[in-house]
Structure 1
């Protein structure tokens, strides 16, 4: 049954793109966008077996750097490119073109054993600046809070910094005692193994070993991301160095097609169409 479904989807991709492709593509960047890209590439390559696509994560900043340096055809980014990054790429003859392929919520997560189910942006700010250090201060048990954050090369961190760390209007930083992780998966694993921990991940990384926490009384969901009532939502991007062509255009066209957007929803992201 699974093979029949893959074959059917592959036929839909071929019908959508109009012709088969041949060549190679390099894709680098965000670990948040990575699951969607992997699924899209799997389907696209099933329809285009002569295409070779290499994918690697490493964070949104690494994706931007690869686009600037000319070492990737597509950069995955869970944040917008910064003006300085756009200028550097343009100076190198690679004017970035942005495609928003899905929407996402950044979800604070705790261990399922933790009784806390909701926090405010102000409380999250206090926890991540080190001002709130015990779960009893936010309605939990009398236990130390173990703070887990993404590293600074992460687009997820940049969004968290913008919407939580600077929510008070101050340029606050994550306090030095926080444990930094290099990917959404690493954050999820660390929180799932420590009942005192708090972290944050993209919506697609929620699983039964994590407990998602509402923010300002709003639960992260497709609806609250689209109507912008959830305070920590964002767009998920891919960038190309100029207008995409050939295999890269075919892959992007598929990701933006109804079939590609359905895959985004199946993974746990929010379709833009």
Structure 2
């Protein structure tokens, strides 16, 4: 009886494995017979997912080349609208004016939170929304005023083309002022490097970029993590969009489809985002 049960368990395991493998294989089947270059640019929060999937596509289909650049959400929307790239990524929904002007089609494939972040050695682990507003506006200039060391606060921000900046500015800062002397960095990756190397720093980044090199600040008692973004408890959240000018090309369509397929959804979750079904 034990032997039969063992065979049964092995059979079930092999069936599940084969089914999963088949689903993953099917995720890439849409690329079969395609060739050429797919150009992608825009929001930097998207890059870890895009790079992982692009590398796998190119490994399986050497006749396909996929290039991925950052630049921020505004750049992605503008470049795809002007026909410079095939897919323009944005960490915000394009405006009605942008959609109309460029004839955009939108594909939302993930949800993401944006967290205020500090250096791991900073003892300040939690802030209120009002404290965050006062820090970024310059009303609070020293960490000692929020329970930290007697040290001037070094504020980092993103440029106005950034979707990460827009959601943080709207939902965490309530469209309030940001210090004019704040240092501007060009991407989520650059923000992480800046904060990780400066014990006096505070910045903000996609939750998907947070690792042990920085600490996400607890905001009004709520941790900035995937579970709280998904439940709606953590309010500083946004959708991740990929946009095309009109109907996507066959190569772009295959890549966009991959984001909603089992393999793409697994990568999205692995990178710290919340997958959205099509």
On whether the aligned pair clears a TM of 0.5, the verdict is yes
Aligned partners of 2:233, 2:210: CA distance in 1, in Å? 20
CA RMSD of aligned residues (A): 1.8
Following superposition of structure 1 onto structure 2, how do residues 1-273 of structure 1 map, counting pairs within 5 Å? Answer: 11-15=25-29, 17=30, 19-89=32-102, 95-166=103-174, 171-273=175-277
CA deviations on 1:135-155 (whole Å, 9 max, x unpaired) are 122121221111111111111
Q: Report if the CA contact (8 A) 2:38-2:251 is conserved.
A: yes
Aligned partners of 1:194, 1:84: CA distance in 2, in Å? 40
Is there any run of 5+ residues in structure 2 with no aligned partner, and where?
1-20
Aligned partners of 2:184, 2:249: CA distance in 1, in Å? 38
CA deviations on 1:60-117 (whole Å, 9 max, x unpaired) are 111111022111110011111123322321xxxxx11111121111111111110011
Aligned partners of 1:180, 1:8: CA distance in 2, in Å? 46
Aligned partners of 1:202, 1:172: CA distance in 2, in Å? 20
| 1:11 to partner: Cα distance | 3.4
**TM-score, length-scaled by structure 2:** 0.87
Corresponding residue SS for 1:45: helix
Aligned residues: 257
Corresponding residue SS for 2:122: coil
Is there any run of 5+ residues in structure 1 with no aligned partner, and where?
1-6, 90-94
| 1:45 to partner: Cα distance | 2.2
User: Which structure has the larger Rg?
Assistant: 2
Q: Report if the CA contact (8 A) 2:226-2:272 is conserved.
A: no
Aligned partners of 1:234, 1:129: CA distance in 2, in Å? 22
Q: Report if the CA contact (8 A) 1:14-1:20 is conserved.
A: no
Corresponding residue SS for 1:65: helix
Aligned partners of 2:177, 2:119: CA distance in 1, in Å? 24
Aligned partners of 1:124, 1:207: CA distance in 2, in Å? 21
Structure 1 outlier segments of 4+, above 6 Å: 7-10
| 1:245 to partner: Cα distance | 3.6
**TM-score, length-scaled by structure 1:** 0.89
